[in-house]
Amino acid sequence: MVRAIIKSGVYHDSVTLMLATREVNRLPGIDEASIVMATKENLAILKNAGMLPPEMERASENDLIIAVKAQQEEQAKKAMQAVDQIIKDLRKRDDKETDQSLKSLDSALQIMPDANLALISVAGKHAVAEARKALESGLHVMLFSDNISLENEKELKMIAHEKGLLMMGPDCGTAIINGVPLAFANVVERGNIGIVGASGTGIQEVSSIISNNGGGVSQAIGTGGRDLHKEIGGIMFLDALEALANDDQTAVICLISKPPHPDVLKKISESIQKQQKPVVALFIGADSKKVEHSGAVPAGNLEEAALISVALSMQENPQTVYKKLNRRNTEIKDQAQTLVKNIKGKYLRGMFSGGTLCDEAQLLLANDGIKTYSNTPLDEDYKLKDIWKSQEHTIIDLGEDAFTTGRPHPMIDFGLRNKRILQEAADKDVAVILFDVVLGYGAHLNPADELTPIIKKAKNTNPTLIFVCSVTGTEADPQNLNKVKIALEDAGVTVMPSMSAAAELCSNIVHLLDKRGCC
Amino acid sequence: MNDLFENPLKVINTGLKSFSDNIRSVGADSVHLDWKPPLISDAVLLNRIKSNKEIIDVANRKALDIVMKGKPLLTGLDIAAKVIPGMHPKMILHSGPPVEWKDMCGPTRGAIIGALIYEGLASTPDEAEKLAASGEIEFDPCHEHNTVGPMAGIVSARMPVFIIKNETFGNYAYCTLNEGLGKVLRYGAYSDEVIDRLRWMEESLYPSLKNALNDLGGIDIKALIAQALHMGDEVHNRNRAATSLFFRIIAPALVRTSEDKEETAKVLEFINGNDHFFLNLSMPAGKACLDAAKNIKNSSMVVTMARNGTEFGIKLSGTGDKWFTGKAPVPDALFFPGFTKEDANPDIGDSTVTETYGLGGFAIAAAPAIVQFVGGRAADAIKYTLEMYEICIGENSVFQIPALDFRGTPTGIDVIKVVEKNITPFLDTGVAHKNPGVGQVGAGVVSAPTEPFVKACQEFLNRL
């Protein structure tokens, strides 16, 4: 049975509600629970899930709605009654440090008159007003929220540009300003490499690899994924590039993005040509000649971008990096030979939480002639018919909207990916499962505890299945890179130093399996 | 842009709280906003706020200025029918927005029954109920007659009232005399002891006080409130200091004008024995000052906020005489032994005039003695007052809070801020039993419902 109640005028942020939902789901007799603000979108989701009794459809967007599917009336009632206390407990944990609750930007500015950045992560439809207020108060803005129109993005970025402020985002997941990791970011060494990135996990992977290889980051500025689209015209990418050029602590500039719109690329190239400082550019999947033309050093993947930046920051020749990576690839070939010996299946399945890492793996495999199906394919012909079902070689991004609607991001909540890993393991044709683990602030605090039992279970079902992963992060991250790595290795996972190395290994394995298949 | 890189990063975080915690855990500075979505999401209306900001600000400054310049003086007492505009023998005033007999809550009905018996218009509760339902009695809100009344707020023709004059603007406000706690008319009780006390108040308390005040010439209520705030009152749910101060002023005059020593002693004992005696002075003082700020074009300031036990209603300065109403909430309260929230009537009374005037719940940080109503810690009370600054136009020039380094109390509720920040006024309140004839069952706090503020704000913006 489905039961629901409305609480008028009660508001909690989505993370609090998701955590509360998880607690309610654990109560006896509860099949499914949903605690959400009754926005139009959430009501539609509830309705589709059959979790919305008709009399609840009148709920307004300032109402909280608690819906539970339970086996018995009494259990549903108990669960709904428990919600208040669960939320109170969650809030109490939150409130410990705060002496005073601030309700508006004005009052926050009274308490912190020298504030210089606003980090905004409220729902998209309210975020624009909050960001505008912050910019008008002279604050730089990092806008984590998504679901914001291009018009609004442009408007905010124009205001910021006029005022000489940073407008990072919308949909900016990662930044490191003055050594402080913001939102989903890693604790990296400070140094002289400045990063501008249109991708959150891209910045995370590059900054972590820089830090793990003796380099350091001065600033990492996120722009949001659409900044290099024609409509936005790279306003913030260009402003950030300029700011890093003028920053005394930045010696090398590293740019990360999907290929910009040609008009925007032209503007970026012009800007790069003016720079005195060396610029490393990775436009994921773009023709490297276009990049070279601008005077930037092209990088083929995130790892390469990071390592070249480190070399340049130490006045070393980038050629040393290519040599080193070539040597490493030879080692990976040998590693693949060893690994394939016991494998029975033939397909690769990639289960990703980071969008850019997913792109990177697909791209590397495609360059090696391996076509992969995906929910976010490089080639539309390889779009999965059903995102819930893999076919042949498949690589999916579980951080994509279709998977995250009404659910926390897979970097926070491993539930969906774990379920999918078990589903893949049950398929006897599957030989390799490739996945990413992203550490740092914002991400799950104990990823190994979530993954290792699942991997063991998967290996029980499919004993010859092998697992390959990369871990994005550093030893200074709250999860500690080394600890996570050891735990995963103990569970039998092959942990590679970067996603490109992990994908390279998988590429070799797939080629070896193909050869075996044909002979 | 490069300034950012050269200064320590200081972050204001809005949304996911963990982001702020993370920033702090790496040793950087961050404050977190306890953000809520605005109560109105209509972009057209929200833009109207932005484009009219200046004229609204000017109007609100003017309105607040009038409120703060007001000088409420207790000039005397008289009988309701003689001084309250429009009052007549068949009229009964009640608290809150207009309500018909059939929709009235238990306590209001109980108090009306008591008043009709007191007036001699009925001799039994049954008779009184029939008369009340007959249409022969005219019911009207106190607020429409320059009057305020706590809880049921019942005022009938023969009742004595305090007369407050706003010296600065020349307008008047009226309020009955406080009966004390327990079984009292304003909480809906109408037994013989209630009626007997009302008669004694009319026959003894009223003439004594009237004579004493004639002798004194008048009492500056604003000054008394300011002093009482420094002594632990917020003059809504705690009036002990203010009542004591009033007692110190009135006592010599009562003695000097006494005709019967024993009666004078009884009057002094009555005032002394009723901590809430001053409530019926702080309320009309607020009313007199707020009424002067009515009808200011483009002002989004709340000038009236009152409940009738069924509905919660407000009026804005810039929207004239129109009430905006919503369902009255049931307060969170500490209940007297034997009673629970099940017994409680929805919120009732004109006493929220104190909050409208920057006192009561808005000044609760000044009243540590009653923090058990808000969670038990003085810090909780301070938190509530600080929150009210968010929705007010300004800070009071006379009423100060010692615990906030004598910061002026948050004064002049701006309906726009209420809607934009999704924070409704925080109110101290008494709790009446939902059935007529029982009386008070507890005291506590309540947040105003959102509905009246949303309706008022929409109308205000549409009229711009």
Mean pLDDT of A222-251: 95
Residues B338-384: tens digit of each pLDDT: 888 899 999 999 999 999 999 999 999 999 888 877 777 888 899 89
Residue position matching structure tokens 């040597």: A327
Q: What is the CA radius of gyration of chain A?
A: 24
Mean pLDDT of B425-442: 90
For residue B317, pLDDT over 50 is answered with yes
* Closest residue by Cα to residue B326 from B454, B414, B457: B454
Of the candidates B10, B25, B383, which has its C-beta nearest A101's C-beta? B383
- Cα B77 to Cα B86: distance, rounded to the nearest angstrom: 17
Contact in structure between B355 and B236 (CB atoms under 8 Å) = yes
**Record: contact B449-A9, CB cut-off 8 A:** yes
Asked if residue B174 is part of any domain, the answer here is yes
- Cα B151 to Cα B141: distance, rounded to the nearest angstrom: 12
Strand partners, B447: B426
Q: What is the pLDDT of residue A93?
A: 55
Say yes or no: B108 and B251 in one domain.
yes
Say yes or no: B197 and B216 in one domain.
yes
The per-residue pLDDT of chain B, averaged, comes to 95
- Cα A385 to Cα B90: distance, rounded to the nearest angstrom: 79
Say yes or no: B28 and B164 in one domain.
no
CATH number at residue B339: 3.90.1700.10
Residues B212-262: tens digit of each pLDDT: 999 999 999 999 999 999 999 999 999 999 999 999 999 999 999 999 999
Asked if residue B337 is part of any domain, the answer here is yes
SS (H, E, C) B44-63: HHHHHHHHCHHHHHHHHHHH
Q: What is the pLDDT of residue A401?
A: 81
**Record: contact B23-A183, CB cut-off 8 A:** no
Say yes or no: B19 and B104 in one domain.
no
**pTM here?**
0.79
Binned at pLDDT 50, 70 and 90, residue A496 comes out as very high
The domains found in chain A, sorted by start residue, are: 2-95 (3.30.70), 105-169 (3.40.50.720), 172-316 (3.40.50.261), 325-518 (3.40.50.261)
CB burial of residue A479 (10 Å; 0-12, 13-18, 19+): buried
Please tell me the number of Cα atoms within 13 Å of A129 on its side-chain side. 21
Looking at chain A, the whole-number percentage of residues with pLDDT higher than 70 is 97
The minimum CA-CA distance between B452 and chain A, rounded to whole Å, is 13
Chain B partners of A118 at a C-beta cutoff of 8 Å? 11-14
Residues A339-369: tens digit of each pLDDT: 998 888 999 999 999 999 999 999 999 999 9
Which one is predicted more confidently, A154 or B338? Answer: A154
- How far lies B186's CA from each of A27, B195, B239, B400, in Å? 46, 12, 17, 30
**Record: contact B423-A103, CB cut-off 8 A:** yes
Number of domains composing chain B: 3
Mean pLDDT of A300-311: 96
Asked if residue B221 is part of any domain, the answer here is yes
Asked if residue B289 is part of any domain, the answer here is no
Please tell me the number of Cα atoms within 13 Å of A140 on its side-chain side. 27
* Helix, strand, or coil (residue B77): strand
Say yes or no: B26 and B59 in one domain.
no
Residues A373-405: tens digit of each pLDDT: 999 998 889 999 999 999 999 999 998 888 887
For residue A406, pLDDT over 80 is answered with no
- How far lies A463's CA from each of A306, A456, A457, A466, in Å? 36, 9, 10, 8
Say yes or no: B150 and B254 in one domain.
yes
Say yes or no: B448 and B368 in one domain.
yes
Nearest CA in chain A to B39: A62
Binned at pLDDT 50, 70 and 90, residue B174 comes out as very high
Say yes or no: B124 and B230 in one domain.
yes
Domain range enclosing B449: 47-66+294-463
* ipTM of this predicted structure: 0.83
Q: What is the CA radius of gyration of chain B?
A: 23
- Cα A123 to Cα A145: distance, rounded to the nearest angstrom: 6
Binned at pLDDT 50, 70 and 90, residue B442 comes out as confident
- Cα A319 to Cα A253: distance, rounded to the nearest angstrom: 18
Residues A96-131: tens digit of each pLDDT: 444 567 888 988 998 899 999 999 999 888 899 999
DSSP type of residue A427: -
Question: Quick one: tokens of A243?
Answer: 């700011």
The alpha-helical segments, DSSP class H, found in B315-439 are 353-356, 378-389, 415-421
**Record: contact A178-B8, CB cut-off 8 A:** yes
Task: Tally A–B CB contacts below 8 A.
Answer: 163
Mean pLDDT of A37-59: 84
Q: What is the pLDDT of residue B34?
A: 85
Chain B partners of A140 at a C-beta cutoff of 8 Å? 1, 4
Mean pLDDT of B408-436: 95
Say yes or no: B23 and B142 in one domain.
no
Chain A partners of B37 at a C-beta cutoff of 8 Å? 11, 37, 61-62, 122-123, 126
- How far lies B90's CA from each of A233, B121, B157, in Å? 75, 9, 8
